[in-house]
Amino acid sequence: MEREIENAHAKSADELFRFYATSPDGLSEEQADALRDIYGYNEMPAEEGKKLWELILEQFDDLLVKILLLAAIISFVLALFEEHADQTSAVTAFVEPFVILLILIANATVGVWQERNAESAIEALKEYEPEMAKVIRSGKHGIQMIRARELVPGDLVEVSVGDKIPADLRLVKIYSTTIRIDQSILTGESVSVIKNLDNVAFRRILDVMKLIC
């Protein structure tokens, strides 16, 4: 059995139902448990942040940076052992390696800052994950409330006005004439976006019209 389906957004609802062995009635509890064993829980993996010295070393693990560092070392050694007519020429000889080192340090500083910001952004996204989700399960009456982390591929999820999207969802049915979703957390757009049955709703974005996925 394939674990992933490519271009899910381009597949029809029937194709997705067949791939995940589900139906408009939803998965059974047994199917959900089996799929959870295959795919794991619906949550972002907890990753330990890198230490500062590891981030600094990573900034120098680049061919161009290594070449510049080698050039700075060679330039410094030549300036150190070269005979100079006066003190001014001696100082001038060290300008080139000093400038190269400053550029490398500035580059490493920016790189570390960007890495730290990326880690902080990922942690911030986790705070937007909803704790609960509404699903349709075969053999059970009505909508079932489960923990969002227990969702599996193939689950039919219902989302109402104001709900956070608990996973990346393929829209298969809309109860209203239109559906608009606030996805500013992902794109920065302040205006909600109209979706249709050909679209994917991504996790951590806010639904403003009722739908079922």
User: By the 8 A CB rule, do 154 and 21 touch?
Assistant: yes
Alpha-carbon dihedral angle through residues 168, 172, 178, 183, given to the nearest 10 degrees: 0
213 band by pLDDT with thresholds 50, 70 and 90 = very low
Give domain limits for the chain: 8-43+130-212, 52-126
Looking at domain 8-43+130-212, its CATH architecture is: Distorted Sandwich (2.70)
Both tokens of residue 46? 């907890």
For residue 73, give the H/E element and its range: helix 63-81
Query: How buried is residue 80: exposed, middle or buried, by Cβ count under 10 Å (0-12/13-18/19+)?
Result: exposed
Residues 6-56: pLDDT tens digits? 677 677 778 888 888 888 888 989 999 998 998 889 887 766 777 888 888
Q: What is the pLDDT of residue 203?
A: 54
97 band by pLDDT with thresholds 50, 70 and 90 = confident
Residue 172 phi/psi, 5-degree rounding, is -120, -15
Nearest residue to 179 (alpha-carbon basis) of 136, 212, 144 = 212
SS3 assignment, position 117: helix
Residue 99 phi/psi, 5-degree rounding, is -65, -45
Task: Say whether pTM exceeds 0.75.
Answer: no
Strand partners, 180: 194
Residue 1 has pLDDT above 70, yes or no: no
Q: What is the pLDDT of residue 5?
A: 65
